[in-house]
Each structure stands twice: as C-alpha cells, then as structure tokens.
C-alpha cells in the first residue's frame, strides 16, 4: 500500500510517520529544501515512541521516498493526505495538481478550519475530497476528524474510516460540516479565555498550563467533558449537574464572545512568558518530553482498555489478525509478538525478571486462544491454570527490542498441558529465554481440575501430531542450578 503526503511540515511529517510505521510505503512532496531533514526528525521521534504502544509488534516499516512533483508523489497512491498551509486558494491549486494525476484516489485534507464543500470547489472529482483533521503528534494521538460532504457517498466514507482504523487511528465522522469541525472549536474557546487571563494580568502562561495539567486536563484525557460532569452530578447524574450549574451560564464569567485585540504588546507578553516558562528546553526536547508522557498515559489506558488505550488495543488485535497467524499444520506455533517497553526495564538497562514471566503469560494467552480456550472459554466457566513454571534467562532484551514467542507442546492429556516456550529477538534470532510450564484444566465454579472440552483436546492432538518430529528441548525438565552440561 502507498500513501502520498503533500506538505511535509509537522502535521505532514506526522502523517508520514503514522503510515510508514504501519507498513505503508510513503511518497512525500514538499518544495521546502529542508523537508527531508524535518520529516527525518519527526520520524525519529515516532520510531522512539509508537512501538512502545504496540504489544504485538508493528509491521515492517514501509519505504519513504521524496518526490520531485505532486504528480510523481500521487501516482500509484492508495491514499493521499494534503497538509499544506491553511490558504484555500493554495489548497485548490494543489488539489487540481493531485487530481490531474490521481482523480479517483481518496484525498484527505488536514485543514483545521475549512469545510469539505469549500475544499471541493472546482475539483475534477469532488466526491473523493474530504476533511481528515488529525491532532499533533499524528503518530501518537489516534483521533482524526473525518468530515465528508454531500458529494461523498457513505460507502466511500466507510472505506476511508476502515483504512484509517487499519493504521491505528480513531476516525470520528463529524455529522455535519462546520467551520473548525469539533476539536478546534473547543480548543478555540479555551484559547480565547486564556488570552484574556494573560492580557488582564490575572495569570501567566505557566500558571494557566499548571491549572490544566494539574486538574481537569487529567480528567479530560480519560473521561472527556460530559462524562466528567456526569460524575460531578453525583448519584443523580447529569440532570442534577445541569440543574445545579446550568444557571451559571448566564453569569458574566466568560469573555468567549470577545477576542482580545491581537496587538504586538499582547504577542510580546505571551511570547516572553512562554520563553521564561519553557525556553530552557529546545523544541526537540519538548517533543520528546511530550511523547514520553503521552506514551506513559496511553500505556496506563491500554492496561485498562479504556478511551484512547482501547484504540491501541484494538489496533493490536487488528495487526495480530492481519499477521502471519500460524495454524495447527505448522510445527511450531508463533504465539505472539512483543516489544520491550520502558516499564519492563530495570536499573541495569535491560528487561527485568518479572517481565519474562509476563511475556510467558502473553504467549500462553495467545496459544490458548488459538486452541479454543480463550476468553470466551473462560467466560463459560473453564480455564487452564498455571501449576508450575521454570524460566531460563539466556540473553538480554533492551528497550524497544522486538521479541517473538513460540510454543512447543511437550505432552498433554485431558487435564494437563505441558508446554515449552522460546522467546527470541527478532533482529538476530538469538534466544532470550525459555519458559517451561505445566498447566491444569480447571472447572472454575467447582474449583477443581476437570477434562477439557473435546474440541480443545482435538486441537491439541493435531498440534502434537504436527510437532511430533521436533526434538524434545535438551533443557526440558531441568532443575534450578543444574549445569549446562547436565541439561
């Protein structure tokens, strides 16, 4: 698959990184002679951050190229994203060039303000032009506002939504076209109020940022606005909140209907305070701080399968479904892909002991799902419980390392499953660990072992037959402290 990115600034570079790290080839056109350097810096940030949010491993990175013209960039593209300056006349000229070479390819615009009907004016194929407004950094934040017009069919739009889900985004179709869509209208309201607070000497830029990041910003990141206010209404919920605080909307608190005069004095005041607040950091420093914090937030939300974290979990599941899923005719089951995350690293700079066990549990969960004993099986009242585990630590795994776990069935019967897992580094195939495990099949309600269902046992029988030619691992059954020569 190929994506064409027209405009290689911060947003265009973020789009390029998002597609590349999800396995797409990307062609970029930007007349700026510094475009390659700028995109390279964005891509370096993305390579350091996005893989930390994938528990299955991202696809092999696509190929990045820089085109000499718009036509060269879009030729053969499956998707086109325009991210040029926010000037309608310029966008129209660029769209004409794009559609001169690729008239039928989906063409999203990163515009933060224009409506799709405005973008489509004079276009050869207006129905394939739509708003695809992301948020910075595009390679980490999942939301993209999709705004079609009446010229686009719902079938076409559904295809775009699915395409963007495949690269890990959360495409939200806006119900009606409107200036600035949804997100920027909300941000503009807060921005106006903040400008007044600084202009009137009530707060500095740093104090306003502190108010946001130390309070409602944390709530918004995981519950949004209305769900947060629902909780504020107590047991009576949103209706009580509205009745209690609704009258305050008539009070003269806000200056949202007015804009402070944008004078040189106001610009200098805000710029000076911002320099005092953050000027000791370079922009690249701030980007890395931002990305690191976002990864930490998103990892926490992933663990809870909530909000933006659920989007990343859904993407993991999509990647797993699209990948090389091994079936029972293969000799060794590729159980899962793993990436070594910051929280897995100890003071020695490599993967800590507890995470080897965690990796084993991930491998086992994937294996059980593939033999028909996954979450649905557990919900019906049966599961495999771990009775004994022996881990051998054979090699180092450092931050960002991509690992693959494989499973060999050593023996099984109606109630017992004895498996051997091997964890290897993808870069060189070196063994990082082996994990030997005995599992017992349990009736969860009764709290005792019982025979597994016939379909599960049949799948295990099939796997055992296909693996019959594999040698038994020399270290299987060894005890702690046993010498390598005695294995």
Measured CA to CA, the distance from residue 385 to residue 440 in angstroms comes to 5
C-alpha radius of gyration, the chain, whole number: 27
Distance CA 319, CA 296 (A): 22
Dihedral-angle region of residue 331 (phi above 0 means left; psi in -120 to 50 means alpha; beta otherwise): alpha
C-beta neighbour count of 218 within 10 angstroms: 12
Of 15, 95, 6, 128, give the one whose Cα is nearest residue 62: 15
CA angle 336, 338, 343 (to 5 degrees): 145
* Token representation of residue 247: 């009258």
For 270, the 3-state DSSP assignment is helix
Q: Is 9 annotated as a binding residue?
A: yes
CA atoms in the 13 A half-sphere facing the CB of 184: 17
Tokens found for residue 482: 């046993």
Run of H or E residues at 183 = helix 183-199
Does the annotation place 340 within a ligand binding site?
no
Measured between alpha carbons, how far is 167 from 78 in angstroms, rounded to an integer? Answer: 13
Please give the Cα distance from 85 to 300 (Å, whole number). 35
- Bond prior to 137 in cis (omega within 30° of 0): yes
Report whether 294 contacts 222 (CB < 8 A).
no
What is the b/e burial string over 145-176, where b = at least 16 CB atoms within 10 angstroms of the residue's CB?
bbbbbebbeeeebeebbebbbbbbbbbbebee
Spatial neighbors of 281 by CB under 8 A, at least 6 apart, are 289
Both ends of the chain: CA-CA distance in Å? Answer: 48
Stretch (H or E) spanning 341: none
Residue 400 labeled ligand binder: no
Q: Tokens at residue 35, please?
A: 């475009």
* Nearest in space to 338 (alpha carbons), one of 24, 58, 62: 58
DSSP labels, 467-487: TTTSPPPTTTT--TT--GGG-
Residue 68 assigned to a binding site: no
Q: What is the dihedral of CA 185, 309, 162, 103, to 10 degrees?
A: 50
As a whole number of angstroms, the distance between CA 118 and CA 325 comes to: 45
Residue from 179, 345, 170, 200 nearest 260 by CA: 200
| Residues that constitute the known binding site | 7-12
| Residues that constitute the known binding site for NAD(+) | 7-12
């Amino acid at each position: 698959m190929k994506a064409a990115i027209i405009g290689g600034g911060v947003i265009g570079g973020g789009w390029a990184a998002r597609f590349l790290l999800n396995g797409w080839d990307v062609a970029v056109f930007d007349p700026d002679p510094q475009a390659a350097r700028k995109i390279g810096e964005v891509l370096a940030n993305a390579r350091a951050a996005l893989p930390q949010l994938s528990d299955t491993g991202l696809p092999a990175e696509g190929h990045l190229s820089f085109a000499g013209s718009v036509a060269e960039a879009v030729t053969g593209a499956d998707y086109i994203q325009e991210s040029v300056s926010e000037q309608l006349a310029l966008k129209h000229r660029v769209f004409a060039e794009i559609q001169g070479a690729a008239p039928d390819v989906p063409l999203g615009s990163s515009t933060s303000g224009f409506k799709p009907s405005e973008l489509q004016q004079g276009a050869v194929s207006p129905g394939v032009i739509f708003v695809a407004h992301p948020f910075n950094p595009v390679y980490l934040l999942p939301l993209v506002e999709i705004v079609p017009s009446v010229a686009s069919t719902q079938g076409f739009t559904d295809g775009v939504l699915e395409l963007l889900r495949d690269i890990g985004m959360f495409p939200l179709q806006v119900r009606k076209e409107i200036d600035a869509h949804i997100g920027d209208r909300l941000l503009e309201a807060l921005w106006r109020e903040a400008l007044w607070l600084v202009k009137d000497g009530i707060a500095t830029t740093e104090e306003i940022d502190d108010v946001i990041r130390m309070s409602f910003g944390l709530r918004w990141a995981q519950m949004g606005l209305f769900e947060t206010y629902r909780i504020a209404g107590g047991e009576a919920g949103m209706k009580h909140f509205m009745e209690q605080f609704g009258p305050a909307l008539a009070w003269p608190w806000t200056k949202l209907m007015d804009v402070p005069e944008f004078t040189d004095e106001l610009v200098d005041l805000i710029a000076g305070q911002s320099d005092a607040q953050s000027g000791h950091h370079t922009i690249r420093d701030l980007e890395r701080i931002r990305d690191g914090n976002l990864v930490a937030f998103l990892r926490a939300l992933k663990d809870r399968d909530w909000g933006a974290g659920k989007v990343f979990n859904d993407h993991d599941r999509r990647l797993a479904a699209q990948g090389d899923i091994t079936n029972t005719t293969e000799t060794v089951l590729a159980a899962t892909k793993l990436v070594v995350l910051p929280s897995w690293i100890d003071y020695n700079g490599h993967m800590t002991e507890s995470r080897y066990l965690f990796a084993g549990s991930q491998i086992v969960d994937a294996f059980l799902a593939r033999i028909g004993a996954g979450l649905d099986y557990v919900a019906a009242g049966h599961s495999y419980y771990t009775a004994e585990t022996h881990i051998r630590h054979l090699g180092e795994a450092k931050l960002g390392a991509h690992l693959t776990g494989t499973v060999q069935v050593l023996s099984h019967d109606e109630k017992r499953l004895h498996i051997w897992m091997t964890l290897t580094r993808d870069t060189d195939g070196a063994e990082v660990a082996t994990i030997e495990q005995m599992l017992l099949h349990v009736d969860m309600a009764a709290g005792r072992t019982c025979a597994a269902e016939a379909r599960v046992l049949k799948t295990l029988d099939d796997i055992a037959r296909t693996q019959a030619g594999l040698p038994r691992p020399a270290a299987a059954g060894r005890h702690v402290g046993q010498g390598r020569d005695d294995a």
